[in-house]
């Protein structure tokens, strides 16, 4: 039973008020958040070096990929792998799955042959920064997930001092990055008196170059045999086999320090939401702790795992402050992920057009990752 029907004009004025309230935020977000995406794509079509210059079409992209052929082969291999992956996940029938595996393998082979071509004909520094980004993701996200989960498990339940621990664990995440990175720049300096080298000395080990070390950690562990190679496509993949540089690993350690506590708090929240009855019921059925972890806890916190995974991966594509402070120019870019490489193309070399083209690619990768995240989120949440 309605007493008063809101008149059309009341509705209309409510909408107008709403738009007025949204206007300031929309102006700022539109001008400095969304318009740049279009403008950036426009800039990427010019040979823009500080000053607006001539239209060059897709030449900047051509320079990145070393021509049209490697670029289209790259697109094709990604499309093949996506299609193959989708087939494997969606279809239950064997022939479709076999086809999916074939497509996936075909795409992977095409990619494996194409990247060396791009490395030779295109921008090999861009590829290196991509490799750094991939290592950086692989080296940080899983470690942070595991350590964060362990600490979250220790934080679970009621006990004395819980709040104090939560507050302490968030300190590295809250305080300014430049200041804490400045500390790690000293902790992991190459000098024999640095903290990291003093720790090594305690165990009788020789000092390392840490943030100054451009060599890959696998290369350092397993000897330099990996690094030599002929001119075949294999030569490019050998640069991957060397692993992330020790300098990058030092930066990863800084990353753990910043993010493990944050991951732990997110996980602790998810753990607190797991209904206790599930554990009680399972233990009445004689389930072992390990089984309960695998069958109850991990599935129920999986939304957090996905959230943190994608946040962490996208984070490596966004990272700047810590690397700006921790990077050593003499290592030749082995610590620079794409975001930092693009920044220096723009900021030091003044190649606005080229840097814009690079950042269009960065955006495409981040959007692609977000789409993957959305998809897998839907699946997971409904499946488990």
Partner 1 sequence: MTRPSKAGVPRRVARYLVLGIGAFVCLMPFAYMSANALKTYAETVTRVSPNPFSRDFWPASPQWANFAEVWLGDAFGHYFLDSFVISMTTLAGTLATSSLAAYAFAKLRFPGKEAIFSVFLATLMIPETVTLIPNFLVVSRLGWTDRLAGLTVPFIASAFYIFLLRQFFRQIPDSLVENARMDGAGNARILRSIVAPLSRAPLFTVACLDIAFSWNSLQWPLVVVQTPRWRPISVGLARLISEAGPQIQLRMAGALISLLPIVLVYIVAQGQIVESISNAGIKE
Q: Evaluate whether 215 touches 245 at the Cβ level (below 8 Å).
A: yes
Tell me which of 87, 151, 217, 251 binds partner 1, using CB under 8 A.
Answer: 151
Residue 168 sits in the site that holds partner 1 (CB under 8 A):
yes
Residue 199 sits in the site that holds partner 1 (CB under 8 A):
yes
**CA proximity to 210, closest of 172, 180, 258, 251:** 251
Q: How far apart are CA 339 and CA 37, in angstroms?
A: 16
Residue 277 beta carbon to partner 1: minimum distance, rounded to whole angstroms: 19
Tell me which of 178, 205, 234, 293 binds partner 1, using CB under 8 A.
Answer: 178
Q: Which stretch binds partner 1 (CB under 8 A): 67-75, 87-95, 234-242, 259-267?
A: 259-267
Q: Which stretch binds partner 1 (CB under 8 A): 84-92, 127-135, 277-285, 345-353?
A: 345-353
Rounded to the nearest 10 degrees, what angle do helices 233-241 and 94-121 cross at? 100
Residue 65 sits in the site that holds partner 1 (CB under 8 A):
no
Residue 176 beta carbon to partner 1: minimum distance, rounded to whole angstroms: 4
Residue 21 sits in the site that holds partner 1 (CB under 8 A):
yes
Q: Which stretch binds partner 1 (CB under 8 A): 9-17, 57-65, 80-88, 129-137?
A: 9-17
Task: Output 39 or 72, the one with its CB closest to partner 1.
Answer: 39
Q: How far apart are CA 219 and CA 107, in angstroms?
A: 28
Q: Evaluate whether 264 touches 155 at the Cβ level (below 8 Å).
A: yes
Residue 1 sits in the site that holds partner 1 (CB under 8 A):
no
Tell me which of 55, 72, 222, 347 binds partner 1, using CB under 8 A.
Answer: 347
Task: Output 71 or 188, the one with its CB closest to partner 1.
Answer: 188
Tell me which of 170, 226, 282, 300 binds partner 1, using CB under 8 A.
Answer: 170
Tell me which of 66, 67, 106, 172 binds partner 1, using CB under 8 A.
Answer: 172
Residue 288 tokens read as: 């072992």
Q: Which stretch binds partner 1 (CB under 8 A): 192-200, 211-219, 224-232, 244-252?
A: 192-200
Other C-beta atoms closer than 10 Å to the C-beta of 166 total 14
Residue 228 sits in the site that holds partner 1 (CB under 8 A):
no
Q: Which stretch binds partner 1 (CB under 8 A): 84-92, 118-126, 208-216, 341-349?
A: 341-349
Question: Site mask, partner 1, residues 270-309, x = CB under 8 A?
Answer: x--------------------------------xx--xx-
Task: Output 229 or 303, the one with its CB closest to partner 1.
Answer: 303
Q: What is the DSSP string of 227-295?
A: G---SSHHHHHHHHHT-SBHHHHHHHHHHHHHHHHHHHHHHHHHHHTS-HHHHHHHHHTT--HHHHIII
Residue 249 sits in the site that holds partner 1 (CB under 8 A):
no
Residue 374 sits in the site that holds partner 1 (CB under 8 A):
no
Residue 302 sits at the vertex; the CA angle it makes with 297 and 305, to the nearest 5 degrees, is 115
Residue 192 tokens read as: 């024999």
Q: How far apart are CA 131 and CA 253, in angstroms?
A: 18
Residue 69 beta carbon to partner 1: minimum distance, rounded to whole angstroms: 27
Tell me which of 81, 265, 313, 334 binds partner 1, using CB under 8 A.
Answer: 265
Other C-beta atoms closer than 10 Å to the C-beta of 336 total 25
Residue 314 sits in the site that holds partner 1 (CB under 8 A):
yes
351, β-bridge pairs: 49
**CA proximity to 249, closest of 200, 209, 305:** 209
Residue 261 sits in the site that holds partner 1 (CB under 8 A):
yes
Residue 321 sits in the site that holds partner 1 (CB under 8 A):
yes
Q: Which residues of 295-306 are buried (b: 16+ CB within 10 A; e: fewer)?
A: ebbeebbbebbb
Q: How far apart are CA 165 and CA 172, in angstroms?
A: 13
Tell me which of 183, 234, 281, 298 binds partner 1, using CB under 8 A.
Answer: 183
Sign of the C-alpha dihedral computed for residues 294, 297, 302 and 308 taken in this order? negative
């Amino acid at each position: 039973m309605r007493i008063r029907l809101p008149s059309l004009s009341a509705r209309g004025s409510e909408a107008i008020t709403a738009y007025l309230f949204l206007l300031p935020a929309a102006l700022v977000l539109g001008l400095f958040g969304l318009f740049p995406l279009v403008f950036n794509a426009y800039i990427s079509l010019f040979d823009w070096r500080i000053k607006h210059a001539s239209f060059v079409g897709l030449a900047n992209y051509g320079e990145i990929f070393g021509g049209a052929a490697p670029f289209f082969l790259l697109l094709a291999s990604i499309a093949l792998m996506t299609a193959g992956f989708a087939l494997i996940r969606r279809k239950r029938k064997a022939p479709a799955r076999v086809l999916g595996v074939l497509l996936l393998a075909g795409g992977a082979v095409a990619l494996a042959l194409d990247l060396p071509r791009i490395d030779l004909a295109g921008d090999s520094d861009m590829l290196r920064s991509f490799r750094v980004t991939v290592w950086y993701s692989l080296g940080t996200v899983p470690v942070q997930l595991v350590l964060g989960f362990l600490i979250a498990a220790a934080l679970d339940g009621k006990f004395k001092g819980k709040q104090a621990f939560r507050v302490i664990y968030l300190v590295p995440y809250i305080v300014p990055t430049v200041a804490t990175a400045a500390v790690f720049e000293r902790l992991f300096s190459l000098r024999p008196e640095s903290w990291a080298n003093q720790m090594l000395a305690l165990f009788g080990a020789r000092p390392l170059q840490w943030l100054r070390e451009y060599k890959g950690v696998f290369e350092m562990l397993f000897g330099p045999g990996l690094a030599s190679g002929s001119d075949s496509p294999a030569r490019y993949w050998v640069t991957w086999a060397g692993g992330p540089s020790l300098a990058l690993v030092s930066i990863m350690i800084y990353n753990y320090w910043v993010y493990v506590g944050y991951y732990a708090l997110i996980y602790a929240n998810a753990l607190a939401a797991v209904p206790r009855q599930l554990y009680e019921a399972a233990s009445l059925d004689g389930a072992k702790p390990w089984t309960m972890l695998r069958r109850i806890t991990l599935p129920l916190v999986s939304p957090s795992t996905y959230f943190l995974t994608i946040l962490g991966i996208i984070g490596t594509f966004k990272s700047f402050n810590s690397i700006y402070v921790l990077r050593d120019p003499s290592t030749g870019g082995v610590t620079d992920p794409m975001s930092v490489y693009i920044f220096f193309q723009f900021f030091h070399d003044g190649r606005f057009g080229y840097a814009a083209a690079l950042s269009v690619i960065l955006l495409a990768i981040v959007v692609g990752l977000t789409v993957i995240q959305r998809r897998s989120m839907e699946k997971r949440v409904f499946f488990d």
